[in-house]
Amino acid sequence: MLEGIGILSLTIWVPIVAGVLLLVLGSDDRRADGTRALALIGALLGFAVAIPLWTGFDKTTSAMQFVERTAWIPAFNIHYHLGVDGISMPFVLLNSFTTVLVVLAGWVVIREKVAQYMAAFLIQSGLLNGVFAALDGVLFYVFFEAMLIPLYLIIGVWGGPNRVYAAIKFFLYTLLGSLLMLVAVLYLYFESGGSFDILAWHRLPLSMAAQVLLFVAFFFAFAVKVPMWPVHTWLPDAHTEAPTGGSVVLAAITLKVGAYGFVRFVLPIVPDAAHELAWLMVTLSLVAIVYIGLVALVQSDMKRLIAYSSIAHMGFVTLGFFIFNPLGIEGGLVQMVSHGFVSGALFLCVGVLYDRLHSRQIADYGGVVNTMPKFAAFMMLFAMANAGLPGTSGFIGEFMVILGTVEVNFWWALAAGLTLIFGAAYTLWMYKRVIFGPVANPQVAALKDIDGREFLILALLAVCVLALGVYPLPLTEVMHASVNHLLEHVSHSKLVY
């Protein structure tokens, strides 16, 4: 039946079709259980069809794999062109896996408009896979913009009291970046003689002036998504207002789109500008790590704290990308995957608490371990991963990037390394105030420990965090060929005078 449809198409369209089916069939909340089951089947199917990407992946080549290419709008030479390499493939898997978790996470918590909620996540999952797989500029742009619609809805419909402000803030930030990127895409189209092929753009010679302008345009589009300091302030608001599932997807996947944009567009398309402006990127990354680390320390809202922690951790990603060595880039990519697990898990942990006490304030908790020991153990693991403890996934990316940075500049590495102290300080201080101590109030005394469903979600993530931490080789092996090719490519100037 599926002959002729590529694996990548399946990873995109299976969840989207499942989402549309949900919208059509499950609008009645009285039959919510059936709706949830259908959503889970859709998410599991979506993950299942992505698995061949891993098992069938050829680690020896840097070329695009699982390529699909058909004309879409021939008049403008726009193609439905998909393919993944060692850089993008892990994110398709991460996204498809995360979708299963968020469906489970919303299982009992969401009681109104269940079908719409689940559909939004499934459709968003398909669109995100599209972002990571698209090799056509217009196709990428369409997925890139379209993925935001479900996110707006998730925050706007199922979000907290201040959701309108958060949504508008996000919209304003994104609008600016998107418009500039559209301009850049069109410029590249004309400059390349009428091609939207991203890989062709990689080979396109460009003058320094053009490169710098393109850099600026892409920078605004991607830096907002990462987010980099100082265009980060939408993230804490979006996170605090989003429902748990929204926060998980936002942290685990959506932020990665920005970072992915830098490796897929900025580095290969404008390598000379990237070298020229690397100081700026490094500075902004270090500011994110140090400044945001300090800001995270004083947050009183758990989600806001984890949001700030996300920004600091993503600072390692952009730092790694712009020091131009294998450790930096692979470290940044590993950090992206790890951050997907760890921050997703931490937002789920806050969700577990929020579902019970309806508060995100650290001060409303204290001594949770007394009533929720299993939960406390899981959260300890994820907190330690967030603090970059060896043996967890959180260590590897930071370690690689710091090693790579020492090679370039010792003082940058020292500044980045401060995260060892800050990351531990804000994470463990929060953990101390929320989890340790005597039972703080009657609400905490009445808490029930996690149930089977919550246990399953957290256990799955715990396995991922530990497996990646103890044996990261399989992941980095997948990246080697593509990263080496990228570095080789970036080291050649494409200036024309």
Tell me how far, at minimum, the Cβ of 172 lies from other proteins, in Å. Answer: 6
CA 203 – CA 251 distance, rounded (Å)? 32
CA 110 – CA 120 distance, rounded (Å)? 13
Instruction: Supply the DSSP string of 58-75, one letter for each residue.
Output: -TT--S-EEEEEEEEEGG
Distances (CA, A) of 427 to 49, 361, 405: 36, 14, 24
CA 390 – CA 404 distance, rounded (Å)? 17
Tell me how far, at minimum, the Cβ of 128 lies from other proteins, in Å. Answer: 26
Tell me how far, at minimum, the Cβ of 478 lies from other proteins, in Å. Answer: 12
DSSP code of 264?
I
The set of residues, in sequence order, having a beta carbon less than 8 Å from that of 220 and lying 6+ positions away, is 176, 177, 180, 181, 231
- The residue (of 255 and 295) whose beta carbon lies closer to other proteins is 295
- The residue (of 23 and 440) whose beta carbon lies closer to other proteins is 440
- The residue (of 57 and 117) whose beta carbon lies closer to other proteins is 57
- Token couple for 46: 């979506």
Tell me how far, at minimum, the Cβ of 213 lies from other proteins, in Å. Answer: 9
Tell me how far, at minimum, the Cβ of 307 lies from other proteins, in Å. Answer: 11
SS3 at position 446: coil
Distances (CA, A) of 85 to 263, 319, 321, 446: 12, 22, 17, 50
Instruction: Give the footprint of other proteins on this chain (CB under 8 A).
Output: 168-169, 172-173, 179, 182-183, 186-187, 190, 230, 233-234, 291, 294-299, 325-327, 330-331, 367, 369-370, 380, 384, 389-391, 395-396, 399-400, 402-403, 405-407, 410-411, 413-414, 417-418, 420-422, 424-425, 428-429, 432, 435-438, 471-473, 476-477, 480, 484
- Token couple for 5: 């449809």
- The residue (of 327 and 345) whose beta carbon lies closer to other proteins is 327
- Token couple for 75: 């008049």
Tell me how far, at minimum, the Cβ of 118 lies from other proteins, in Å. Answer: 30
- The residue (of 156 and 326) whose beta carbon lies closer to other proteins is 326
Tell me how far, at minimum, the Cβ of 216 lies from other proteins, in Å. Answer: 13
Residue 452: how many CB atoms within 10 A of its CB? 7
- The residue (of 76 and 410) whose beta carbon lies closer to other proteins is 410
- The residue (of 25 and 470) whose beta carbon lies closer to other proteins is 470
The dihedral of CA 150, 153, 157, 163: what is its sign? positive
- The residue (of 6 and 326) whose beta carbon lies closer to other proteins is 326
Tell me how far, at minimum, the Cβ of 311 lies from other proteins, in Å. Answer: 10
Candidates 318, 348, 322, 323; CA nearest to 335 is 318
